[in-house]
């Protein structure tokens, strides 16, 4: 950061400073320091834009600016500034559109363009505008299949699966359950079939697998097939545990870390992913009239969500997970133990 602040005012040095601020933004985002990431990305974009204005046909500089916009938009989503995130994605898209008139996009640049399509599709789904989401998914699909590298490069294989996941989400939002299930199960089968050939078992790929399994669980819930949904969410938790230190549930990690003195760092995002799957499982267990199993799951969620939300006060997602835990707990006990349920409402 000191190097970036001290660079002299020449295009070459401004471009280098922009890269440094962009890298700082990535690090801060990874650490869940979203306000700091937002500040760093703003500075990176400001510097990059000045250089691009001076050299508008420089392909590398424009593609770097487009990437900064995309990463900044992802940080704005974490800050729950969804309108600004959409505008920032669109600014990134404008850079790729301008770049396409200058030169043919390289595979790496096309992947970045596809990631913007996917980001905008997610935002459209969040806003219940499935038509816009469908348009973004179709745009990404076309770009994936126009690429000669799509059949051999893992990144394009992953993008295709992500596209199918979004398509299934759109169908679910439209209540087209049979079609949604077919697309989601097809994507999961393709992932599992191609996993050893194309994908390293890392956090990103395991998260996609869990998202697909959870999506199949959501479709089962929408059909009222609670037992199928329970099996899907349990399978999702089993996969998520493989991505956690010692393959322990977050609540076990927190107990060991806090009370037994074992070394280890909180993994906030992975813990929240796990909590959100546990909440889905608890909701299904309530429907299956298995309240004590549900309360066991909710107790784990409450412990973990309270710890990570207290540790990251500015991350809305963690506070939402904690609020949803208390809401489900009330749903589980309000008829059987009304006095305790009233206490839960105070939370």
pLDDT in tens, 221-240: 999 999 999 999 999 999 98
Q: Give the mean pLDDT of 13-30.
A: 90
End-to-end CA distance of the chain: 41
Q: Which of the four pLDDT bands, split at 50, 70 and 90, describes residue 257?
A: low
Tokens 């890392």 -> residue: 202
pLDDT of 40 = 94
- Provide the residue count of the chain: 347
Average pLDDT, the chain: 86
pLDDT of 261 = 46
**Cβ proximity of 282 and 301 under 8 Å:** yes
d(CA 27, CA 29): 5
Q: Which of the four pLDDT bands, split at 50, 70 and 90, describes residue 36?
A: very high
Q: What percent of the chain has pLDDT over 70?
A: 90
Distances (CA, A) of 1 to 36, 37, 272: 12, 12, 30
pLDDT of 264 = 58
- For the chain, give percent helix, strand, coil, nearest 5: 85, 0, 15
Q: Which of the four pLDDT bands, split at 50, 70 and 90, describes residue 87?
A: very high
DSSP single-letter state for residue 244: S
Q: Give the mean pLDDT of 38-56.
A: 91
Tokens 């784990």 -> residue: 300
Count CA atoms within 13 Å of residue 114 on its CB side: 27
pLDDT in tens, 8-20: 567 788 888 889 9
**Cβ proximity of 169 and 125 under 8 Å:** yes
> Torsion-angle region of residue 246: left (phi > 0), alpha (psi -120 to 50) or beta?
left
Burial class (CB in 10 A: 0-12, 13-18, 19+), 224: exposed
Q: Give the mean pLDDT of 3-29.
A: 80
Helical spans, DSSP H, in 129-176:
130-146, 154-173
pLDDT in tens, 273-297: 999 999 999 999 999 999 999 999 9
């Amino acid at each position: 950061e000191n190097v970036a602040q001290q660079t002299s005012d020449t295009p070459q040095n401004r471009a280098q400073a922009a890269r440094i601020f962009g890298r700082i933004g990535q690090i801060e985002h990874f650490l869940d320091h979203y306000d700091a990431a937002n500040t760093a990305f703003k500075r990176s974009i400001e510097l990059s834009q000045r250089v691009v204005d001076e050299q508008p046909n420089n392909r590398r500089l424009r593609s770097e600016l487009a990437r900064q916009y995309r990463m900044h938009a992802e940080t704005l989503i974490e800050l729950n500034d969804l309108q600004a995130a959409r505008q920032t994605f669109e600014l990134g898209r404008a850079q790729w559109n301008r770049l396409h008139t200058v030169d043919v996009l390289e595979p790496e640049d096309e992947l970045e363009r596809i990631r913007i399509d996917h980001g905008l599709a997610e935002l459209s789904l969040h806003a219940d505008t499935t038509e816009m989401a469908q348009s973004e998914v179709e745009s990404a699909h076309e770009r994936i299949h126009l690429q000669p590298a799509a059949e051999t490069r893992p990144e394009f294989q992953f993008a295709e699966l992500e596209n199918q996941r979004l398509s299934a989400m759109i169908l679910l939002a439209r209540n087209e359950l049979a079609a949604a299930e077919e697309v989601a199960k097809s994507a999961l089968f393709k992932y599992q079939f191609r996993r050893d050939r194309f994908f390293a078992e890392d956090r990103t790929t395991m998260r996609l697998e869990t998202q697909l399994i959870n999506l199949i669980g959501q479709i089962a819930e929408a059909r009222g097939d609670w037992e199928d949904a329970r099996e899907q969410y349990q399978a999702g938790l089993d996969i998520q545990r493989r991505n956690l230190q010692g393959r322990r549930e977050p609540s076990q990690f927190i107990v060991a870390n806090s009370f037994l003195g074992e070394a280890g760092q909180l993994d906030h995002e992975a813990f929240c992913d796990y909590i959100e799957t546990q909440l889905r499982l608890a909701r299904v267990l309530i429907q299956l009239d298995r309240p004590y199993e549900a309360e066991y799951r909710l107790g784990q969620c409450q412990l973990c969500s309270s710890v990570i939300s207290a540790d990251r006060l500015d991350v809305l997602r963690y506070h939402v997970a904690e609020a949803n835990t208390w809401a489900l707990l009330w749903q589980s006990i309000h008829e059987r133990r009304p006095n305790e349920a009233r206490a839960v409402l105070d939370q």
